[in-house]
Amino acid sequence: MSYDAYGDLEVLHLSDLPDPKLAPSAVLVEVRSASVNPVDWKLMGGGLDGLMDVVFPVVPGWDAAGVVVATGPDVPELAVGDEVLTYARKDLVQGGTYAEKLAVPAVSVARKPAAMSWDEAGGLPLAGLTALRMVELLEVGSDDVVLVHGASGGVGHLAVQIAAALGARVVGTASERNHDFLRDLGAEPVVYGEGLEDRVRALAPEGATVVLDTVGGVLEQTLAVLAEDGRHASITDPTVEEHGGRWVWVRPDAAALGRLTAVVERGQLRVEVQQSFPLEQTADAVRLSQGGHVRGKVALRVTEG
């Protein structure tokens, strides 16, 4: 699936492109499943044009899980047949994961846990690494009360579980239909919106020692519920840095992916997949993501194995 110019869903189309070239330190992966992230359609609309170089046609997508079908000569750690997952972002926007074949540096690849489905594994890398980076940057521990804005979303539901696995008490915002889901993940749910400060302080009178913003537009609420000397971070709002917070991006990192998959293998982290679409229905998958109310992740099933 690719696009030849910036635009909305109408620019997406199925296309036949050459197999990507395999660099010496890269692997060629036959993609079983990819996932849709908001950055995919923001890039497609030209939203990051001033930040990243683009070469058309673009195959979108930064998440994938699949099987190694070839390795470069400088990849002793992986072999043909290995089942892997990867955060495949590159500095040049062109060859992404919405494709049957993906060439990706070996340093961006980790082994897929056997218990994960392809769709679950394909949905873990970007959202999981982002959640992990937030938790690690803010040094979340067992003494913390963590508030997660957007706790049922892609990054949010993983951040809830990672923080809970570290022993933190977790409070998460979500609509009421997702409250049982959050309880299952180990969070105390609260409704987002007006009156949030009162609802959070009813649970934690001293406030949250850590606040993780995965949705944006909540800086005022974050500062209102933040405990004295509390820490906060956002993945969408760079202005948090003007208020003592951290603005978080994440880079491909096989070691960090390994830390994530270790939590999965301990049974403390799972990826919720709301819906899986075949590659031909990418536009429908993107439309669902654009709606902004996805529980967990949206998957694209690319090849069968």
Q: 128-247 in CATH: which number? A: 3.40.50.720
How many Å apart are CA 69 and CA 32, to the nearest integer? 12
Q: In this structure, what token pair is assigned to residue 59?
A: 């195959």
Domain range 9-124+271-301, CATH class: alpha beta
Tens of each residue's pLDDT in the chain, 305 residues: 999 999 999 999 999 999 999 999 999 999 999 999 999 999 999 988 888 899 999 999 999 999 999 999 999 999 999 999 999 999 899 999 999 999 999 999 999 999 999 999 999 999 999 999 999 999 999 999 999 999 999 999 999 999 999 999 999 999 999 999 999 999 999 999 999 999 999 999 999 999 999 999 999 999 999 999 999 999 999 999 999 999 999 999 999 999 999 999 999 999 999 999 999 999 999 999 999 999 999 999 999 97
Domain boundaries, the chain: 9-124+271-301, 128-247
Is the Cβ–Cβ distance between 297 and 153 less than 8 Å?
A: no
Q: For residue 212, which of 127, 285, 280, 95 has the smallest C-alpha distance?
A: 127
SS3 at position 47: coil
Whether the model clears a pTM of 0.75, i.e. scores above it, the answer is: yes
How many Å apart are CA 300 and CA 275, to the nearest integer? 9
- H/E segment holding residue 300: strand 297-301
Strands 92-95, 145-149: pairing kind = unpaired
